[in-house]
Amino acid sequence: MMYFPSLFSSLEIKMMTDTLLTISFSIVCAVAGIAYAFYLSRWVLKLDAGNPKMRAIQAAIQEGAEAYMARQFKTILPIAAVLFILLWMAGFWSHHFGFVTAMGFLVGGAASAVSGYAGMMVAVRANARTAQAAKGGMNSALQVAFRGGAVTGLLLLSLSLLSIAVFYAVAIAIVGMEKTIPALLSLGLGGSLISLFARVGGGIYTKAADVGADLVGKVEAGIPEDDPRNPAVIADNVGDNVGDCAGMAADLFETYAVTTVATMALAHMLYPASPSAILFPLALGGVAILTTIIGSWFVRLGPGGGIMPALYKGFAATGVLSAIAFYPVTAYFMGGVGNVSTMNYHLTALIGLGVTLLLVVVTDYYTSKTFRPVRGIADASVTGHGTNIIAGLAISLESTALPVLVICASILAAHSLAGLFGVAIAAEAMLTMAGIVVAIDSFGPITDNAGGIAEMADMGKKIRDITDPLDAVGNTTKAVTKGYAIGSAGLAAIVLFSEYVRSISPSHARTLSQSGAMVFDLSDPDVLVGLFMGGMLPFLFAAMLMKAVREAASSIVEEVRRQFREIKGIMKGEAKPDYGKCVDIVTRAAIRKMILPSLLPVLAPIIVGIVLGPTALGGVLVGTIVTGLFIAISMTSGGAAWDNAKKFIEEGHHGGKKSPAHQAAVTGDTVGDPYKDTAGPGINPMIKVANLVAVLLAALLFSE
């Protein structure tokens, strides 16, 4: 039966008007973002892709990326189908579930997959064009790489907002608000599931290929990185795209979507008499797309020629424009809501933007070649492999302190201004920067591939002198994006945990506060058991991924050794390696090994919730958030620091390439690769999947 709001209620008439206007605005902005992404992709694809050799290399990378993504989607499809049916069938046990909830899951998963895949395929085609554009100078190459990456950033932000706005409008018209909230959370779960598989599978792929190529090519054979004689070089370049483009896009798509729907759910629960609060996140998202488009115009080299400052100009412009534009939106939607002033709500949004800036600065400090941490690891490499590893581990542990303090300060400040909803607004405002952040992130794999193509196509030192600095900066931008993603995931998980607590009915709660909300008492053994089990999950998850990379990389090492041994003339450049064999090996390994760790955050909350109940499950969520945040930051920052320490030495410091210090740095980078690109980033969606599964389980089993 269709649900129609009462025509005689002024509150519901206002809600209908606000809903129609806000959804229309959100859809228009989302369509504008998609249109601009299409314009940028057309601009990139019209450029010259270089000589036939460059085109052939790009085609091989593109073919490998498409083959991997096709296998990944085929693997995910049966799992997604089972979850779709379970969510649909759950309607027989709970009135919160049903077909609309299952459709939300499908919409979220499809939108996440499309944003990652489409953005990645443009990035794959931008790499040779970036190398060719380097003939026109640094700024020409920078523009191609950034605009290719901006397609991914705009698509993830626009498709996420479009899917939420359209689905919200349809769902509320069909089933009403009470069933729409679980359906929105299910949409977030669909995006999270795709993100988890993309992050885990892509991470295993990219680092297995990278580690395998480096161990045999650099260490044993002594040939340069991206040397066409290395049979694993194409697989390595494919991995950059499926891991850092598709994986990161899906990651931040689901983080943005999950934060938005969780904030909407929290607004419905806290301010049922103020429907405009539910629409507020959609309005912020629409404004953010427009500021991202404008901010991208500011990316260009200045008089000093600095690459990172050029990228940060776009980031800063987007942040400043958002800070200004958010105020009228906040005044319209949140004025008078919850006895909190408009300025306080706006300040919480500014806190979210400020957290983004601080996390970027802190991550840049720990991963850039300019500062103490990376140079300290390079210095330690002079005395051997062991001291390099010790220094890198020390930096990875140290790098957790400042980001966590920033997150803690933001939570306290936002909560003091506007309570729990203030924390949610801060997280939402932080995620509105995802478009420009991912544009800067996708710049990294594009420039990495451009450098590889320049090396394989013998474009000469002049071109490499342009692509190498772009690649080095891209390595830092990828690390900065991972720090941003993890920080935003921490705030999003807090909002989700709050939703979980409020989903538990008093009859299922062991301890209640004076307001009737569930309380977790540390003297309760179920809470303690849950905390320990939750704290264990990120460690177990990371161990599975590190082991998967090791096993897959070993297969690549053996294959590269075999080709060097059996295919005569490879080292002299007289015979062509079998690139396809390495691509096939790492593709099969990544698909096979991504399933078990990806199911861990889905099954663990279900088992704990059913066996031990909601109290222990709440402890699991808290433990997962706390330990997961620390492990993720440690691995991503530490791994990037190891990588840039190697690059710092390769620039001629401490003896340069092939020196003992360089050999030690390669060992550190080999350890850091699965840290920063597989295990660390994978924990981000893992935390949110566990929380979303718990929230939906609570709505199914532990609510009225």
DSSP string, 621-669: HHHHHHHHHHHHHHHHHHHHHHHHHHHHHHTTGGG-TTSHHHHHHHHHH
Across residues 241-263, what is the average pLDDT?
82
- The answer to whether 191 touches 253, Cβ cutoff 8 Å, is yes
pLDDT above 90 (res 38): yes
- The answer to whether 207 touches 678, Cβ cutoff 8 Å, is yes
**pLDDT at residue number 517:** 64
Contacts of 89 (CB under 8 A, 6+ apart): none
The two tokens of residue 604 are 């663990």
pLDDT tens readout for residues 339-378: 889 999 999 999 999 999 999 899 889 988 889 999 999 9
**pLDDT at residue number 625:** 92
CA Rg value for the chain: 25
User: Any idea what the Cα angle at residue 262 is, between residues 258 and 266, rounded to 5°?
Assistant: 175
**pLDDT at residue number 241:** 80
**pLDDT at residue number 237:** 82
CA–CA separation, 640 and 636 (whole Å): 6
pLDDT above 80 (res 305): no
The two tokens of residue 491 are 């705030």
The two tokens of residue 353 are 């933007």
Residue 461: burial class (beta carbons within 10 Å; 0-12, 13-18, 19+): exposed
In DSSP notation, 23-89 reads HHHHHHHHHHHHHHHHHHHHHHHTS---SHHHHHHHHHHHHHHHHHHHHHHHHHHHHHHHHHHHHHH
Per DSSP, 277 falls in state H
**If DSSP codes are grouped into helix, strand and coil, which group holds residue 518?**
strand
* Band (4; pLDDT cuts 50, 70, 90): very low
* Band (8; pLDDT cuts 50, 70, 90): very low
**pLDDT at residue number 512:** 57
pLDDT above 80 (res 138): yes
Of 240 and 664, more confident: 664
**pLDDT at residue number 704:** 65
First CA to last CA distance, the chain:
22
**pLDDT at residue number 7:** 43
Closest of 302, 261, 257 to residue 279, by C-alpha: 261
CA–CA separation, 119 and 158 (whole Å): 12
Closest of 448, 440, 478 to residue 124, by C-alpha: 448
pLDDT tens readout for residues 493-544: 888 888 888 777 776 666 655 555 677 888 889 989 999 999 999 999 999 9
Per DSSP, 48 falls in state -
pLDDT tens readout for residues 192-230: 888 888 888 888 888 888 888 878 877 777 777 777 888
pLDDT tens readout for residues 617-647: 999 999 999 999 999 999 999 999 998 899 8
The helix (run of H) or strand (run of E) holding residue 409 is helix 401-431
**pLDDT at residue number 540:** 96
**pLDDT at residue number 521:** 80
pLDDT above 50 (res 559): yes
pLDDT tens readout for residues 280-299: 999 999 999 999 999 999 99
Angle formed by the axes of helices 307-334 and 342-367, nearest 10°: 160
CA–CA separation, 173 and 184 (whole Å): 14
* Band (1; pLDDT cuts 50, 70, 90): very low
Question: What percent of the chain stands above pLDDT 70?
Answer: 96
**pLDDT at residue number 529:** 94
pLDDT above 70 (res 15): no
Among 333-347, 386-400, 430-444, 457-471, the range of highest mean pLDDT: 386-400
Mean of per-residue pLDDT scores for the chain: 86
CA–CA separation, 292 and 294 (whole Å): 5
CA–CA separation, 471 and 474 (whole Å): 5
- The answer to whether 243 touches 479, Cβ cutoff 8 Å, is no
**pLDDT at residue number 426:** 93
pLDDT tens readout for residues 396-432: 999 999 999 999 999 999 999 998 899 999 999 998 9
Per DSSP, 281 falls in state H
Contacts of 42 (CB under 8 A, 6+ apart): none
User: What sign does the CA torsion over 21, 27, 31, 36 have?
Assistant: positive
pLDDT above 80 (res 547): yes
